[in-house]
Amino acid sequence: MINFAILNIIWFEFGFEYVSAKEINVVTSFSVLADMVQQIGKSHVKVNSLIGPCEDPHVYEPKPSDLNILKHANLIFVNGLGLEGWINRLFISSETNGKIIIVSDGIHTITNNIAKNKTVIDPHAWNNVTNAIVYATNIERALIEADQDDADEIRLNSKFYIEQLRALDSWAKKEIDSIPMPSRKVITNHNSLSYLGDAYDITFLTFQGISSESEPTATQVASLIKQIRDEKVKAIFIENQSDSRLMTQIIKESNIKLSGELYPEALSKQDGVAPTYIKAFIHNIKLLKAGMLGE
């Protein structure tokens, strides 16, 4: 009888353990958020990203399978600030009951002038590590609310991740500090790195403005080429997620040297150079530094 009682306790314990190992079905809008949620949720999340590696979040065209993915989601993480202009229609069509979390809630936003008397909020807030820490905190809170049994572990993962982000920020500051101020000018496809520029005192000039949806006019291109020459800008980059054909052509025709490829808003695949937010950030800082120094 005693043995039977012990067996019962073991069974109860094992069963309890099994029930508490909960897996939250998470959907994220794009790859940067997918990585952040994975770092904090670890084994307690199953993450599906609507936009995959190396895909442009501004011009995404939803697939029919996205409806099914959203329908089964417990939590849906989006950037907000106008990045995913296509997503509201998708939520309605999917009839999802998943909770929507805007990870940028609570950050200090940057506003960009897009025309005379017309400004818009820049959505690329994750490119300032201080904001990425706010993202992580919002993710942690939402995951704990959805899975209170695993709160301690999620809190610990988040603490460890935020410590890594703080170290990343200090490292990046030191790297950029060594570059003379007049050299801190960079050209990219579109305005994806203003938040990084704001954090580390770098001026970003772009061909396409705030969203990769817009096409630059001939006058805009001509004036940027003139600026590159007049101000002797050495750091000129394409972006992994953007269609860079036009920019590559302009650079070639203008006899300007390309400094490399940045990962500002889409991670690489796992075997690429930027499979996580932190690795993408390190890649970008190293490349930006070398570009600005003309190496």
Binding site for Zn ion (CB under 5 A): 192, 265
DSSP the chain: -HHHHHHHHHHHHHHHHHHH---EEEEESSHHHHHHHHHHHGGGEEEEESS-TT--SSS----HHHHHHHHT-SEEEE--TTS-TTHHHHHHHHT--PEEEETTTT----EEEEETTEEEE---GGGSHHHHHHHHHHHHHHHHHH-GGGHHHHHHHHHHHHHHHHHHHHHHHHHHHTS-GGG-EEEESSS--HHHHHHHT-EEEESSTT-TTSPPPHHHHHHHHHHHHHTT--EEEEETTS--HHHHHHHHHTT----EEE-SSS---TTSS-SSHHHHHHHHHHHHHHHHTT-
Q: Cβ 144 to Zn ion, closest distance in Å?
A: 30
Q: Cβ 119 to Zn ion, closest distance in Å?
A: 16
State the residue number with the nearest CB to Zn ion. 192
Instruction: Considering the complex, state which of residue 98 and residue 123 has its C-beta at the smaller distance from Zn ion.
Output: 123
Instruction: Considering the complex, state which of residue 94 and residue 191 has its C-beta at the smaller distance from Zn ion.
Output: 191
Q: Cβ 190 to Zn ion, closest distance in Å?
A: 6
Q: Cβ 184 to Zn ion, closest distance in Å?
A: 21
Q: Cβ 189 to Zn ion, closest distance in Å?
A: 9
Instruction: Considering the complex, state which of residue 161 and residue 263 has its C-beta at the smaller distance from Zn ion.
Output: 263
Instruction: Considering the complex, state which of residue 58 and residue 289 has its C-beta at the smaller distance from Zn ion.
Output: 58
Instruction: Considering the complex, state which of residue 84 and residue 265 has its C-beta at the smaller distance from Zn ion.
Output: 265
